[in-house]
Amino acid sequence: MLDTSSPQVRAVLPLLYVAWADGVLTPSEAETIRTQIRAQDWIDTSTREAICNHLDPQTPPTATQYFRWVRALKEGAKETSVTTRCSLAELGAAVATVGGDGAALSDASRRALADIEAALGIDGEELVGDLLGERPEPTPPTSEAPFEVSTLTEVLDGEHADLRDHIRTLLQDPVFRYRPELDTAAYREQVLRWCEHLAEQGLGALAYPEDYGGDGDMGRFIATFETLAYHDLSMVVKFGVQFGLFGGSIHRLGTERHHEKYLESAGTLELPGCFAMTERNHGSNVRELETTARYDPATEEFVINTPHDGAHKEWIGNAAVHGRVATVFAQLHTDGEDHGVHAFVVPIRTEDGTPRPRVRIEDCGEKMGLNGVDNGRLWFDQVRIPRENLLDRYASVAPDGTYDSPIPSPGKRFFTMLSTLIGGRISVARAGLSAAKSGLTIAVRYGNRRRQFGPKDEPEVPLLDYRTHKRRLLPKLATTYALHFALDDLTRRFAAKGRDASLDAIEAEANALKAYATWHTTDTLQEAREACGGQGYRADTRIGRLKADTDVFTTFEGDNTVLMLQVAKGLLSDFRREFRDMNLLGMARFVATEMATQVAELNPVVTRKTDADHLRSLDFQQGAFRYRAEQMLQNVGQRLKRRIDDDMDPFEAFVDVQDHLVDLAHAEAERVILDRFVAAIEAIDDPTIRESLTALRQLFALARVEADLDWFLEAGYVTSAKAKAVRGGVNALCDELRPQAEALVDAFGIPDACLAAPIATQDRVEAA
Amino acid sequence: MLDTSSPQVRAVLPLLYVAWADGVLTPSEAETIRTQIRAQDWIDTSTREAICNHLDPQTPPTATQYFRWVRALKEGAKETSVTTRCSLAELGAAVATVGGDGAALSDASRRALADIEAALGIDGEELVGDLLGERPEPTPPTSEAPFEVSTLTEVLDGEHADLRDHIRTLLQDPVFRYRPELDTAAYREQVLRWCEHLAEQGLGALAYPEDYGGDGDMGRFIATFETLAYHDLSMVVKFGVQFGLFGGSIHRLGTERHHEKYLESAGTLELPGCFAMTERNHGSNVRELETTARYDPATEEFVINTPHDGAHKEWIGNAAVHGRVATVFAQLHTDGEDHGVHAFVVPIRTEDGTPRPRVRIEDCGEKMGLNGVDNGRLWFDQVRIPRENLLDRYASVAPDGTYDSPIPSPGKRFFTMLSTLIGGRISVARAGLSAAKSGLTIAVRYGNRRRQFGPKDEPEVPLLDYRTHKRRLLPKLATTYALHFALDDLTRRFAAKGRDASLDAIEAEANALKAYATWHTTDTLQEAREACGGQGYRADTRIGRLKADTDVFTTFEGDNTVLMLQVAKGLLSDFRREFRDMNLLGMARFVATEMATQVAELNPVVTRKTDADHLRSLDFQQGAFRYRAEQMLQNVGQRLKRRIDDDMDPFEAFVDVQDHLVDLAHAEAERVILDRFVAAIEAIDDPTIRESLTALRQLFALARVEADLDWFLEAGYVTSAKAKAVRGGVNALCDELRPQAEALVDAFGIPDACLAAPIATQDRVEAA
């Protein structure tokens, strides 16, 4: 048994400690120590042998012996001035002086110990840290925002700040308390009550004309929808179905008499209604839906019919329980001719709630989420409605059955009717983004408080200090800000259009941003859940509910992939037109632009530039996004042309390049988002806000370049060295933004009541 | 009004049609037609003027007029032999011959029409297709598998095929019918009943020694777990908690007396138990958990105590309702010393289910998923247990309080105890993969049946024929197969180890595959949900449930990011050791290997090779994965060294390179998965199975190279041309595998009863 009070033994104790600590030394290295110990003539021979005995792999120390060595080192260290950053040799020399007879080691002995340690080539400091480190208590987290949070909230709230604040106050009213204990039937009733409360506040009719309780402002309606989306998403979706889709279809597809008859009661929710477009067999392909509306001149009625079982209306919100009428989309037949899809007002339930004759209604039942919305299926068996129930803004049928429309082409007519969906698409994108903001608020607050692991002699480290955790959340926060401003700008332009203005210019952007934003929401909530670990899995932390409720946002109001393909096709037809339009000036301008871009961007000096200022510059970031979108467009145009030239069927040719089309649409979406974000920042006066938003813009763009580095490398737009610098640049921006992360989520201004009983609140109390 | 019975009018009708079809011609192009029509002297002057009137943007046709033109063209075409692939001029010439006086056009007139069409530069064929195409009925989908599905199932089932078939049969028994209507309390009871049924079949005790009802075979236990995971995942997790974690901790950490006392009743579920390791404040950092077990020699008892509120046991399965005892992990204090984390058996409830004195139990409440598992929180207030309740395989305390252990180093002791978690980690990875298989089965069957859009004159196209849809599902299917074989191999090696064998070699692989597989599950189920559109959102299609239940798989049994960081650190310590080990031979061998790789891989001829055979070859694929893992290891080693050399604190240095560490672990995981998949395929006799699995291996590897193309480009491992070829190669492999996609999911052999009432079944009936 070693005498741990002997200074000679104490001097070599650190070596004994590492010899038996797991994973530090190999058996041959322990053997090395043994050989060296035998050569130390400042140690008594018997002591030397006793020490060497304890270095023999055949005779390991007992746990109790090992524990005594560790205790002797720890207690000895406390009585000396050694720090946790000393070497093993220094520690040995120090503890040799305390306890026992306490004689100091000679310089030669110290050098000998240091030589043994050096020969092992191990990091002695780290091992001493492991041994001696003790964790002090953490100090509460601080938030270092270089700006006023309330000022940033004002910037985000924009022109409808008062309305948003009103809604925030409203949502804190006890009537809006979450009721997770309710079963599905009761939950649906609760959601109806909530929507009625909102209607009482005049929020449902906001977008309708003044005569019907509104102020005709789509911008205010969408701001309402977005802010409500901090609360229960079933409520928001039901709100959108009733006031946006049902009421909106009456408003936008109907004429005066329909407004007169339905709009006020739609806005007050006295008349709950449905928007019955989607069919089971035709989700995305609306143009080929199969429900028919045959005109019967004998009775001046339309006959609405579901021709076979798979042609029923599917997923119709408000249909399972509450809806009394529905805007039904059907193929209009008159005079033996099919004039394509039109919208009709069809009563589906009597006032007492029973389904009307010849209308079959089925409950869609439980869903992954949004169970407060009563989705249903509708079948019509030769249901007769008056001729006046055709929503006839874009097409009318005379009493004798003569069809007329101000738009001669059925294609254009169809797409004009469909463009009434744009408002809903923008609203869904913004509501999804609100959910992403909720998820980020919860996850950032948690990451700023939750500690796990850390250096040996310091408090455990908040999760958000870890590189992996910053990378999880901060680029998503930056994208969320970028999307906020892009969607805000789009909403403003959309709201400024009169009811009769063409929406062509806005539609492609709405499609691109809807798809981009809702995919971003899905990704962000997944990261937020994982970033909160097990706590994120609790139902009452809301992330699970947000995930489940928003999961279908990527599907409804236009399947994201289908929307992205439309965006790309839109770009291609512009492109095709540019080439087809054979006037020389246009062609010259087009080619000149292209060549100028190529020359500017592929300048070998620029593709090699790696300094941070360059990588963060508008010049580089906007240049990169524009170049990518333009190159992808040309590239996919050429791919298509080759296939068409090879006599491939055009449909097949498009299918064959779909992966490139979706990439193009993504690139276009990011180009637009960045441009809008840049413009929004330029319009801000407060320099502290500009500075933080600029850092977010830089992180958004650089992280997206990083995500698509394969493309930029392949295109020769960046070199390997620059690619490396881009990755480093993302890290640096994450580091810079990390101290203000919590202020940046606080600025969303999500009411605590909406975040329910989140982990963040609980930990905030604990940390304070 | 135009006379559409006039042959001259009929000849130009196709031009009138395109002039007013939306988005085809610009106003100036319509003007071009007008000018040209005026020059056609084969048309009567008055007819020419009438036609030109209808080309004036100021006087568009009415919808009825336009509709008549379209009808005249459609009906005219039916009476001729024109196809949907003719030009506008050909269509005009053809319909001019029918109806009216039916005179044929002169050759000159035909040429004139063709000239006008050519001058417009439009794709007349496509436009004719739009006009005349009519959709025939689709034919039911077929599955073209070049192999016998049942043979592939046998290959997948491997050595435990009988056991798996037995479980498949069992799961179809009516007692296992899903009960989605149950509330949480009843659901928990149902899950307990299900686990009791499984215990009655002897499945719970499989891994225990024969004396306690098992056959000591972890391989059979894990195969059971994996197959059960086709069914309700709450059942699987409860099964794992009871028989794997609780019973397994008794088996692996305890000694004979504990086996004698607890193991049989654990295996029969007579004694429901918990595994209480995780604490609220210490999830991942188990070593610093705060529950204490102080030994009191006066009474020969341990005193289990929760020192403060945040130190309670959190998320403990079986704790909220059913558990009667718990394996509790606590810091063992004896003789005034802390010996680190040890496991103790602590009774928590009496036989009648009431909590024991000084044990506080709280229900964790509703979660995102897995609500059939009764997770709870546990607080201990100086709870006294007999000395014998220490699970003392790795450490014992004598009656007088003397501590002893066969493992002297506390670090090694701790990690040895923790290595008992490896079985659970492998099980979770495999259960997650089963859920991914369920999701893919549903989504592939749906994609093979659900049709949407299509060429104008053909049936709508199954979703799985779309490039975007194939890319969504088929690479995920390939990865699922790859992971299946990798996990199977890992399980086999794990099961072959005796209870006392070192698991070091297996642990890193288990960590890497657990993280990789569960992230893959999350991604795959998200894609499957979106790929099924709205139908995927229905609760009864199971994807939502699978998503919600497996979401926490990335967090429990080791947080994925933490596991990946451990994997990378393990690789680095091997690396460090290789450099530290100063014998020349080792060093030389190391450097030589590296140089050889570099020379072989960065051969400029190879980095430029783009032919399909090369891209699909083992040579390229395994070479790429090995090169990446080795380079990343060196790269991160150098980064760390630079930081340490610059005197950065080692903890901070590791944090600073975490992004590279996680990338390295990913690369290592993929290298291992590919190598295991390749070895598994080599062992298969049936050439048809080998061929299909080889294509899956090729797709898995090439799609992963594609996903990491930025790295390969940056490293100069592939050129831009090769990167392009990789993308094309992924498309080609997706195309090749698409016809057998359904057979490949059928081979998983998931019982229909487990897929519940999925969309797939419904559509299968419809399509048949």
Q: What is the CATH number of the domain that holds B367?
A: 2.40.110.10
Q: Per the CB < 8 Å rule, is B404 touching A63?
A: yes
pTM reported for the whole predicted model: 0.90
B411 contacts on A by Cβ (under 8 Å)? 21-23
Of the residues B13, B316, B551, the best mutation for testing chain A's interface (the one with the most A CB atoms within 10 Å of its CB) is: B551
Q: Per the CB < 8 Å rule, is A655 touching B537?
A: no
Q: Residue B383 pairs with which residues in a beta bridge? A: B304
- Tokens of residue B14, six digits: 């196709």
Neighbour tally for A459: CB within 10 Å: 13
Phi-psi region of A382 (alpha: psi -120 to 50; beta: other; left: phi over 0): left
Which is it for strands B292-296 and B313-316: parallel, antiparallel or unpaired?
unpaired
Please give the tally of structural domains in chain A. 3
Helix runs in A458-503, H state only: 467-496
Confidence of residue B596 (pLDDT cuts 50, 70, 90): very low
Cα–Cα distance for residue pair A526/A549, rounded to 1 Å: 13
A283 contacts on B by Cβ (under 8 Å)? 452, 533-534
Decide if A750 is inside a domain: yes
Neighbour tally for A566: CB within 10 Å: 18
**Judgement on whether residues A570 and A517 belong to the same structural domain of the protein:** yes
Cα–Cα distance for residue pair B549/A524, rounded to 1 Å: 19
Of the residues B555, B638, B645, B661, the best mutation for testing chain A's interface (the one with the most A CB atoms within 10 Å of its CB) is: B555
CA dihedral A101, A102, A103, A105 (to 10 degrees): 130
**Judgement on whether residues B77 and B180 belong to the same structural domain of the protein:** no
Cα–Cα distance for residue pair B412/A23, rounded to 1 Å: 8
User: Could you read off the pLDDT of A429-443 as tens digits, one per residue?
Assistant: 999 999 999 999 999
Distance from CA of B73 to the nearest CA of A (A): 14
A64 contacts on B by Cβ (under 8 Å)? 402-404
For residue B708, give the amino acid letter. D
User: Could you read off the pLDDT of A464-508 as tens digits, one per residue?
Assistant: 999 999 999 999 999 999 999 999 999 999 999 877 777 877 999
**Judgement on whether residues A314 and A461 belong to the same structural domain of the protein:** no
Neighbour tally for A177: CB within 10 Å: 11
SS3 sequence of B573-629: HHHHHHHHCCCHHHHHHHHHHHHHHHHHHCCHHHHHCCCHHHHHCHHHHHHHHHHHH
Q: Which of A170, A171, A187 is nearest to A545 (CA)?
A: A187
Range of the domain at A33: 7-132
Cα–Cα distance for residue pair B383/B303, rounded to 1 Å: 5
CA dihedral B21, B25, B30, B33 (to 10 degrees): -100
Do residues A700 and A618 lie in contact, with contact meaning Cβ atoms separated by under 8 Å?
no
Q: In which element (H, E) is residue A313 found?
A: strand A313-316
Q: Which of B381, B258, B235, B262 is nearest to B317 (CA)?
A: B235
B691: domain CATH number?
A: 1.20.140.10
For residue B710, give the amino acid letter. D
Sign, CA torsion B687/B688/B693/B697:
positive
**Judgement on whether residues A313 and A276 belong to the same structural domain of the protein:** yes
Query: In this model, does residue B161 exceed pLDDT 50?
Result: yes
Cα–Cα distance for residue pair A170/A662, rounded to 1 Å: 41
A710 contacts on B by Cβ (under 8 Å)? 709-710, 713, 723
Q: Which of B167, B189, B166 is nearest to B179 (CA)?
A: B189
Q: Which of B501, B488, B648 is nearest to B161 (CA)?
A: B488
Q: What is the pLDDT of residue B17?
A: 87
Decide if B272 is inside a domain: yes
**Judgement on whether residues B496 and B637 belong to the same structural domain of the protein:** yes
**Judgement on whether residues A471 and A392 belong to the same structural domain of the protein:** no
Neighbour tally for B285: CB within 10 Å: 15
Cα–Cα distance for residue pair B229/A665, rounded to 1 Å: 39
Query: In this model, does residue B190 exceed pLDDT 80?
Result: yes
- Residues shown for chain B: 768
More confident residue, B28 or B164: B164
Apex B417 CA angle, B414 and B420, nearest 5? 145
Q: Which residue of A has its CA nearest to B183?
A: A183
Decide if B161 is inside a domain: no
**Judgement on whether residues B634 and B688 belong to the same structural domain of the protein:** yes
Q: Which residue of A has its CA nearest to B283?
A: A452
Cα–Cα distance for residue pair A248/A421, rounded to 1 Å: 9
Q: Per the CB < 8 Å rule, is A367 touching B662?
A: no
Do residues B499 and B420 lie in contact, with contact meaning Cβ atoms separated by under 8 Å?
no
CA dihedral B560, B565, B569, B570 (to 10 degrees): 10
Do residues A726 and A612 lie in contact, with contact meaning Cβ atoms separated by under 8 Å?
no
Q: Which of A276, A233, A237 is nearest to A253 (CA)?
A: A276
**Judgement on whether residues B662 and B605 belong to the same structural domain of the protein:** yes
Q: Per the CB < 8 Å rule, is A366 touching B540?
A: yes
Confidence of residue B59 (pLDDT cuts 50, 70, 90): confident
CA dist A347 to A292, A359, A421, Å? 16, 9, 22
Q: Per the CB < 8 Å rule, is A62 touching B405?
A: yes
Apex B32 CA angle, B31 and B37, nearest 5? 95
Provide the 3-class DSSP secondary structure of residue A330. Answer: strand
The C-alpha R_g of chain B, in whole angstroms, comes to 35
Apex A583 CA angle, A599 and B88, nearest 5? 120
- Residues shown for chain A: 768
Query: In this model, does residue B526 exceed pLDDT 50?
Result: yes
Q: Which residue of B has its CA nearest to A641?
A: B123
Please report how many Cα atoms fall inside a 13 Å half-sphere around the Cα of residue A209, on the Cβ side.
Answer: 13
Q: Which residue of B has its CA nearest to A538?
A: B367
Q: How many helices (H) and strands (E) does chain A have?
A: 32, 11
**Judgement on whether residues A481 and A381 belong to the same structural domain of the protein:** no
Least confident of A651-665, B6-20, B96-110: B96-110
Q: What is the pLDDT of residue A426?
A: 97
Decide if A414 is inside a domain: no
Average pLDDT over every residue of B740-754: 96
Decide if A124 is inside a domain: yes
Q: Within chain A, which residues score under 50 in pLDDT?
A: 578-592, 595-596, 599, 760-768
Q: Per the CB < 8 Å rule, is A67 touching B403?
A: yes
- Tokens of residue A129, six digits: 């840290």
Do residues B709 and A710 lie in contact, with contact meaning Cβ atoms separated by under 8 Å?
yes
Q: Which residue of A has its CA nearest to B23?
A: A412
Neighbour tally for B382: CB within 10 Å: 11
Query: In this model, does residue B121 exceed pLDDT 90?
Result: no
Do residues A37 and A51 lie in contact, with contact meaning Cβ atoms separated by under 8 Å?
yes
Decide if B159 is inside a domain: no
Cα–Cα distance for residue pair B549/B490, rounded to 1 Å: 24
Q: What is the pLDDT of residue A159?
A: 94
**Judgement on whether residues A401 and A431 belong to the same structural domain of the protein:** no
Phi, psi dihedrals of residue B37, rounded to the nearest 5°: -60, -40
Q: Residue A397 pairs with which residues in a beta bridge? A: A403
The C-alpha R_g of chain A, in whole angstroms, comes to 35
Q: What is the pLDDT of residue B689?
A: 98
For residue A420, give the amino acid letter. T
Of the residues A464, A526, A712, A714, the best mutation for testing chain B's interface (the one with the most B CB atoms within 10 Å of its CB) is: A714
CA dist B532 to B538, B543, B757, Å? 10, 9, 14
Residues 6+ apart with CB under 8 A from B31: B55
Do residues B657 and B667 lie in contact, with contact meaning Cβ atoms separated by under 8 Å?
no
Which of A132, A158, A189 delimits the end of a domain?
A132
Decide if B255 is inside a domain: yes
Please report how many Cα atoms fall inside a 13 Å half-sphere around the Cα of residue B217, on the Cβ side.
Answer: 13
Q: Which of A351, A342, A404, A356 is nearest to A384 (CA)?
A: A356
Which of B358, B378, B406 delimits the end of a domain?
B406
What does pLDDT average to over chain B? 90
DSSP designation for A279: B
Q: What is the pLDDT of residue A101?
A: 62
Do residues A370 and A549 lie in contact, with contact meaning Cβ atoms separated by under 8 Å?
yes
- Tokens of residue B531, six digits: 């790929």
Which is it for strands B292-296 and B301-305: parallel, antiparallel or unpaired?
antiparallel
Q: Per the CB < 8 Å rule, is A713 touching B710?
A: yes
Confidence of residue B42 (pLDDT cuts 50, 70, 90): confident
Residues 6+ apart with CB under 8 A from B132: B73, B74, B77, B82, B84, B91, B456, B457
Q: What is the pLDDT of residue B58?
A: 77
Confidence of residue B591 (pLDDT cuts 50, 70, 90): very low
Do residues A1 and A65 lie in contact, with contact meaning Cβ atoms separated by under 8 Å?
yes
- Tokens of residue A83, six digits: 């720090």
Q: What is the pLDDT of residue B394?
A: 94
DSSP designation for B138: P
Decide if B111 is inside a domain: yes
More confident residue, B283 or A399: A399
Do residues B341 and B331 lie in contact, with contact meaning Cβ atoms separated by under 8 Å?
yes
Of the residues B58, B68, B400, B453, the best mutation for testing chain A's interface (the one with the most A CB atoms within 10 Å of its CB) is: B453
Query: In this model, does residue B586 exceed pLDDT 90?
Result: no
Q: Locate tokens 């805007």: which residue?
A: A327
**Judgement on whether residues B325 and B448 belong to the same structural domain of the protein:** no
Q: Is the ipTM of this complex over 0.85?
A: yes
Q: In which element (H, E) is residue B449 found?
A: helix B422-449
Which residue among A64, A135, A339 places its CB closest to the CB of B402?
A: A64
Least confident of B55-64, B183-192, B605-614: B55-64
Of the residues A71, A295, A416, A655, the best mutation for testing chain B's interface (the one with the most B CB atoms within 10 Å of its CB) is: A655
Which of B406, B436, B466 delimits the end of a domain?
B406
A726 contacts on B by Cβ (under 8 Å)? none
Distance from CA of A412 to the nearest CA of B (A): 5
Average pLDDT over every residue of B488-494: 96
Q: What is the pLDDT of residue A517?
A: 98
Average pLDDT over every residue of B387-412: 94
Do residues B193 and B179 lie in contact, with contact meaning Cβ atoms separated by under 8 Å?
no
Task: Report the Cα B199 to chain-centroid distance in Å.
Answer: 30
**Judgement on whether residues A383 and A530 belong to the same structural domain of the protein:** no
Average pLDDT over every residue of B304-331: 96
Average pLDDT over every residue of B700-728: 97
Confidence of residue B585 (pLDDT cuts 50, 70, 90): very low
Q: Which residue of A has its CA nearest to B122?
A: A580
Cα–Cα distance for residue pair B262/B316, rounded to 1 Å: 19
Q: Per the CB < 8 Å rule, is B123 touching A650?
A: yes
